[in-house]
Structures are given as structure tokens and as C-alpha cells.
Chain A
């Protein structure tokens, strides 16, 4: 049972454009939603995370938008750069299971120069 659904599977964006990746979750007990960035041959790196008490969180060019009623959250990458080309994973977990992240299937982003 896939508890976190991520789309699109792949994304091509021009340099300077906005990259948008969406995730939907099923379990209303989830209360922590991080995004990870993974480059080939590397482990995932925490990018930004949000909890349900806020609807948006911004860190530099990265913004998470959160819609609790729709059980959806998304990552926006503003002014996308070729160096952002990587695989992005959304994830979710709940209090009490702090070490158990449920991941989406991943989105491969390519930013063209």
C-alpha cells in the first residue's frame, strides 16, 4: 500500500524556470513532511521540511506548500539551476514513529541550461 504518492515521475525545466513537484498522502496521522534531494551515488540530503501547523515554508529558492484538507504538499524550486538536477523525494512520518519515513517514488528533475 503506497501511502505517499509523488508526481510527476520526471520533470524537465529550463534554467530560471519554476520546478513544481507534488505529493499526496493518505494517513491523516502524518505530521511531518520533509523533502530530500539525491544526487547519483549519494545518499538523500534533507532539503526542507514542514509540519501541518503552517501552510507554507520557504528556504532560499525552495518553498513547501501544504494543504491539510486536501492531504497534499508540494515543492517549488524557484529560478531553477542546472545544479538542481537531481532526484527529489517527498516523505511523511508521524509523531511516535520519528525514525520511520514513508517516501514517495521520487521525481527526476533535469534543468536545461
Chain B
């Protein structure tokens, strides 16, 4: 069974731009969660989508948004990028009924 895939793996943007990251969950998984990982703040929850609906949201500004499609694939978007948005963005999927989340390899975003 294929794992969680994330594209692209690496991304370089400049301040003020926007970016879209993509996540394909494990087949059959309906829940997709997004996390931001930085050396200073560690792993922080961004939001979770289940059956195309946002089910949970973390404490991030409105510049961070996401969506989920009918095939459970998810995208997250960050608008008006800031230097502090440089991070590893991780996507995790689960069946939705259990809490076992399986993570993808992440997208490394660098904002210059």
C-alpha cells in the first residue's frame, strides 16, 4: 500500500508570494491533517479535513488555508508569504475513526 505522498518536496518562494502544497493520503484514508515543523516551534497543528470539511483548526493566521477534494486529496495554501513561514510542511492521513496518523515526507518551503 502506497504511503502518504506530498508534492512538491522542495519549494523556494519570495516574500509576498503565495504557495500551494499538495497531499495524497493513503488509499482509503478520509482524514488529512497538516502540520508545520520548525526548529523553534516544533510540530504545530494547522488544520484537519475529513470528507471535504474542515474538522479542526489550529492557531494560525488566515493566510493559511486548505481544502480537501472528493478523492480525499488535500491542498494547503499560504498567501502573502513571510520569512517566518519557512518550514517543513507535513501532511498526515488517517482512516478517521482511529487516531493513528501516518505522515508523508513533507514539503520543505523556503521563503526568501
Contact = CB atoms under 8 A, between A and B. Distances in A.
Given A43-B103, A44-B90, A98 B43 contact: no
Given A43-B104, A46-B101, A98 B42 contact: no
Contacts of A89: 42-43
Nearest to B103: A43
Of the four ranges (under 10, 10 to 19, 20 to 34, 35 or more), the interface on chain A belongs to 20 to 34
B39 to A, nearest CB: 10
Interface string A81-113: 000000001010100011111111110000000
Contacts of B102: 46
A81 B111 CA distance: 37
A103 B94 contact: no
Contacts of A41: 105
Given A34-B100, A100-B45, A102-B45, A42 B56 contact: no
A99 B90 contact: no
A49 B55 contact: no
Contact of A49 (B4, B92, B100): B100
Interface string B12-43: 00000000000000000001110100000011
Contacts of A104: 42
A46 B105 contact: no
Contacts of B92: 43, 99, 101
A32 interface: yes
17 contacts: A43-B90, A43-B92, A43-B103, A43-B105, A44-B43, A45-B103, A46-B102, A89-B42, A98-B98, A99-B33, A100-B48, A100-B56, A101-B35, A101-B92, A101-B99, A103-B44, A106-B43
Interface of B: 4, 31-33, 35, 42-45, 48, 50, 55-56, 58, 90, 92, 94, 96-106
